[in-house]
Amino acid sequence: MKIKLLRKILSLTLVFTIVLTSVASALTFTDISKHWAKDYIERVADYGIVQGYSNGTFKPDGNVTVLESLVMMSRLYKLDDDVKSQIIEQYKPILEGMDNTKYREWSFEYLSIIMALNVVSENGIRSMFEKNANGVIPITQPASKEEIAILLTKAMMLGDEAKNLKVYTLPFNDASLISTSARPYIYLMYENGILLGDTKKNINPKDNISRAVISTMLDRTYTYINNNDVKPDLSAYEQLTEIKGTVTQISLGSAESSIYVNTGASTSIIKVNENSKIYLNNELADISNIKLNMLITCYVNDERLAKKIELDSLTKTINGKISNVAFTPPAKITITDENGYNKTYDVSNNASIYLNGKTTELKNLLKDDLITALVKDGVISEIKSTSKTQVYNGEITNIDYLSYPVKITIKTDAGNSMTFEYSSSVIITRNLQESSFDQVRAGDDVILTAEYGKMIKLNFVAKEAELSGVIKEILIAPKSKIKIEDVDGYVKEYLVSSNVNINIGENVATIYDLRLGYKVNINTFGDEIVTLHAEEIQTVNNLNGKVIYINLDENLIMMQNIKSNGQKELVYLTVTNATKIFNTSGETKYMKDITEGKNIICTSLSESGKNVAVSILIQ
């Protein structure tokens, strides 16, 4: 994968949030019922743009400082957390080094974004914090209308247009009072319907801007940005993916190292180099501080390179099974660990609890459920539990006969793809009646029961044939194809699944046994044939490979035959009383002596795809 810088922030949902020095408490305010800006204020409050005071008022005629206005504009776009984190990481140290920022650290996040958006440069922010000749810090003073016009124009990504504006006319009676440098910005604010002037057609550029007026401008700005799909360019920042889990392996290298992180669902390999920032319990650290089984959160780019790593050595991960749950306060849970030892932990009142990936309550956890708990100072802060027994409804999408053990993949009704290994201990039923694994086909509807993630029961419902016709063409290739003419004379080409189940008559067959002109019934999954039933015919084969399934009741063996080109194919063998079975010493053996996983050499007669074993050599 290549490093890709984001052209844009991921989410461009327009959300303003004004952060003032007072505390917000409500969207309905007690002092604006008769105010001219009531509708604007209520709208931007509803958007989350402005907030009121703790006593329920808004104080619409109060002034707004330069700092407060910058905070408002910094929330013009909702940034992804990873992009925001990179921006703050870049600019926070710069702000900490500026004069007169002490006790204003709360604003660093917002001012960092302002600089990243190019609303104000680093030097511009620095000068705003420097005391003037009167000992006043400009950023703490009330903002004027023309100051807001300049800043808001840049926040709307119109700064370059204002700089290049040469010919324009300001329609205000007091236009002469506007500073020369502010005039193109105010013109664009007027042209785009943001700043319109008062009833006397005056702009009053030097007046302090009130909370009501800025609410009006913000409401109009929100509409402008939404209608014009304005997107800031934050291409200097990467989209990062959060990967959280425990460290299972560390591979150190001279230029680049690798960390293996178990996320619970899978293991991710994370690259680490000298530019990766590593923190241990919120303190700067290095790769030597990363230890096995330590909790880790990695923020990685598209190349799986960690830009930032957070380590937690204070919280431990406990894996095991639930032995007992006490719901009455203080809640407790007893866990049997992997070594069979029981230990009881307190459960925090604020603990996050999940069962089978969904949020739940402690009372829903049962004895013998699997559990992974995060514990700090003997108190559990998070529980992820998996039910001992789970039932999945869905459809079989693939049966990989060429792997061992054989793997079955289903797509659940919830849309999840899950793969399970088949073993001879799995109970197979068809329509809840006893059946066998060789009858299972891709495309069948299933109810699959698993215990601790292992399949223990499989009930399938075989689908009726979707289409009947005659084979007109067969192409055997890495991706085989068959053309079939239906009853209406229409010919269509189908891909053949690598795990297709083919029967000729009552006998299991392969694509090599099919012939032109055969009448067939097929089932498809997507564009691929997954089952094909043809009429019966007759041919001798030398087979060599591994046994993957034995049905003693049906005298049937499923084996992975290794063809002359080294490729594997699935072959069904029928064993009769005439079949000679022996070992490499020449001793006579019986079908019960053949076990799954054994290699055999077989000579068979193939009659319309039914391989009847003549002799079997157990290796």
Residues 115 and 43 in one domain: yes
Residue 539 pLDDT exceeds 90: no
312, 327, 360 - which closes a domain: 312
End-to-end CA distance of the chain: 45
Record the tokens describing residue 111, joined without a space: 């001012």
- Would 81 be classed as within a structural domain? yes
Residue 16 pLDDT exceeds 50: no
Closest CA to 240 of 84, 15, 75, 108: 84
Range list of β-strands (E), 444-527: 445-451, 454-461, 467-475, 481-486, 491-504, 507-509, 519-525
Residues 79 and 220 in one domain: yes
Record the tokens describing residue 457, joined without a space: 């029961």
Comparing 128 with 430, the larger pLDDT belongs to 128
Q: Give the confidence band of 536 by pLDDT, cuts at 50, 70, 90.
A: low
Residue 195 pLDDT exceeds 80: yes
pLDDT at 607: 62
Burial class (CB in 10 A: 0-12, 13-18, 19+), 253: exposed
290, 312, 334 - which closes a domain: 312
CA distances from 580 to 186, 546, 555, 612 (A): 98, 18, 13, 11
Answer yes or no: are the C-beta atoms of 220 and 228 closer than 8 Å. no
Query: Which domain, by its residues, includes 345?
Result: 319-386
Record the tokens describing residue 59, joined without a space: 């104080």
CA distances from 415 to 395, 410, 463, 486, 560 (A): 10, 10, 20, 32, 31
Rounded CA Rg of the chain? 36
Residues 455 and 478 in one domain: no
Burial class (CB in 10 A: 0-12, 13-18, 19+), 390: middle
Residues 337 and 423 in one domain: no
Residue 25 pLDDT exceeds 80: no
The residue-averaged pLDDT of 120-125 equals 94
The residue-averaged pLDDT of 611-615 equals 88
Answer yes or no: are the C-beta atoms of 349 and 327 closer than 8 Å. no
Answer yes or no: are the C-beta atoms of 100 and 84 closer than 8 Å. no
Residue 21 pLDDT exceeds 60: no
- Would 481 be classed as within a structural domain? yes
pLDDT at 264: 73
CA distances from 365 to 178, 216, 330, 449, 513 (A): 69, 52, 16, 19, 53
| pLDDT one-digit tens code per residue, 84-107 | 888 998 999 999 999 999 889 999
Which CATH number goes with the domain that contains 500?
A: 2.40.50
- Would 155 be classed as within a structural domain? no
Residues 111 and 221 in one domain: yes
- Would 193 be classed as within a structural domain? no
DSSP structure class, residue 602: E
Structural domains in the chain (count): 6
- Would 564 be classed as within a structural domain? yes
Residues 72 and 135 in one domain: yes
DSSP 291-316: -TT-EEEEEE-TT-BEEEEEEESSSE
Q: Give the confidence band of 149 by pLDDT, cuts at 50, 70, 90.
A: very high
Residue 146's CB: how many other CB atoms inside 10 A? 24
The residue-averaged pLDDT of 532-559 equals 86
Answer yes or no: are the C-beta atoms of 53 and 22 closer than 8 Å. yes
Record the tokens describing residue 408, joined without a space: 């079955």
Q: Order of strands across the sheet with 389-400?
A: 417-421, 407-412, 389-400, 445-451, 454-461, 427-430, 433-434
The β-bridge relationship of strands 342-355 and 379-386 is: parallel
Residues 284 and 372 in one domain: no
Answer yes or no: are the C-beta atoms of 257 and 288 closer than 8 Å. no
Residues 416 and 563 in one domain: no
Alpha-carbon distance of 439 to 445, in angstroms, equals 13
The β-bridge relationship of strands 389-400 and 407-412 is: antiparallel
| pLDDT one-digit tens code per residue, 434-479 | 888 888 888 888 999 999 889 999 998 876 667 888 999 999 988 8
Read off φ and ψ for residue 254, nearest 5 degrees. -70, -45
Alpha-carbon distance of 100 to 125, in angstroms, equals 11
Cis peptide before 232 (omega within 30 of 0): no
Residues 248 and 283 in one domain: yes
Instruction: Enter the pTM of the model.
Output: 0.49
370, 386, 402 - which closes a domain: 386
pLDDT at 548: 93
Which CATH number goes with the domain that contains 566?
A: 2.40.50.320
The residue-averaged pLDDT of 210-232 equals 90
Residues 122 and 224 in one domain: yes
- The dihedral region occupied by 368, where left means phi > 0, alpha psi between -120 and 50, and beta the remainder, is left
- Would 501 be classed as within a structural domain? yes
Cα dihedral value 110, 111, 114, 119, nearest 10: 140
Long-range Cβ contacts of 252-257 (<8 Å, 24+ apart): 252/287, 257/287
Residues 269 and 379 in one domain: no
- The chain-wide mean pLDDT, for the chain, equals 87
- Would 504 be classed as within a structural domain? yes
Residue 536's CB: how many other CB atoms inside 10 A? 15
Alpha-carbon distance of 33 to 598, in angstroms, equals 86
Residue 245's CB: how many other CB atoms inside 10 A? 20
Residues 291 and 338 in one domain: no
Cα dihedral value 234, 238, 239, 242, nearest 10: -140
Alpha-carbon distance of 163 to 405, in angstroms, equals 70
| pLDDT one-digit tens code per residue, 228-257 | 999 888 888 888 888 988 999 999 998 899
- The dihedral region occupied by 236, where left means phi > 0, alpha psi between -120 and 50, and beta the remainder, is alpha
CA distances from 199 to 76, 203, 281, 285, 586 (A): 29, 10, 59, 61, 111
The residue-averaged pLDDT of 502-525 equals 85
| Contacts with 457 (C-beta within 8 Å, 6 or more apart), sequence order | 426, 427, 429, 447, 448, 449
- Would 152 be classed as within a structural domain? no
Closest CA to 300 of 322, 282, 273, 321: 273
| pLDDT one-digit tens code per residue, 318-366 | 889 999 999 888 899 999 988 889 999 999 998 999 988 889 999 899 9
